[in-house]
């Protein structure tokens, strides 16, 4: 994926829709510490991604990531939410959309990247979130167009990372009756 992203000329978008992904040792350490690990200390873990995003965006490529998530957040997504400041610092734009607010959107069932609105890379995971490192690449404009449109629908409805306040376990959302 990194090679395709590096070759992007204008844009890279990424839609994530799972509540669990593979459990990195850093995530497991955060859990074991009662979710109290100093996330700034995670800078070393995020440094390669920050450098990569910085290189790509320095060429003028816009990188956007949208996450459709269940609320209350799973532990894994709560960890991702806490780390997202590193994505933003690197130049990636990130938005969040509650699954409750996305139920009527038609999106592909797999996570995906879209490079320059011309190539879709669908990525697949096992049920436990482990990446299968398998991608399906699609460049047929008839198939790419709806995927691009689905991302834009999610993006337009989603909340910017700086403004997103996820529902916490045990708390009802303000709209709940």
Residues 60-93: tens digit of each pLDDT? 999 999 999 999 999 999 989 989 999 999 999 9
Instruction: Tell me the domain boundaries of the chain.
Output: 2-163
| Nearest 10 degrees: Cα torsion 43, 48, 53, 59 | 130
Residues 107-162: tens digit of each pLDDT? 999 999 999 999 999 999 888 888 888 899 999 999 999 999 999 999 999 999 99
> 């074991």: which residue's tokens?
32
pLDDT at residue 171, as a whole number: 47
Please give the helix or strand (H or E) that residue 151 lies within, else none: helix 141-157
pTM: 0.90
CATH of 2-163, one of 3.30.870.10, 3.30.70.980, 3.60.15.10, 3.30.230.70: 3.30.870.10
């Amino acid at each position: 994926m990194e090679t395709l992203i590096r070759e992007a000329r204008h844009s890279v978008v990424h839609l994530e829709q799972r509540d669990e992904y593979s459990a990195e040792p850093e995530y497991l350490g955060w859990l074991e510490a009662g979710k109290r690990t100093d996330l700034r200390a995670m800078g070393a873990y995020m440094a390669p991604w920050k450098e990569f995003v910085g290189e790509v965006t320095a060429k003028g490529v816009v990188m956007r990531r949208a996450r459709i998530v269940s609320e209350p957040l799973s532990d894994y997504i709560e960890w991702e939410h806490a780390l997202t400041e590193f994505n933003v610092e690197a130049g990636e734009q990130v938005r969040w959309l509650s699954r409750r607010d996305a139920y009527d959107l038609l999106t592909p069932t797999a996570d995906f990247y879209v490079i320059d609105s011309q190539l879709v890379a669908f990525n697949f995971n096992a049920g436990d979130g482990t990446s299968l490192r398998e991608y399906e690449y699609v460049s047929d404009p008839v198939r790419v167009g709806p995927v691009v449109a689905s991302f834009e629908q999610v993006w337009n409805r989603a909340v910017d990372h700086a403004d997103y306040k996820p529902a916490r376990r045990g708390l009802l959302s303000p709209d709940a009756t």
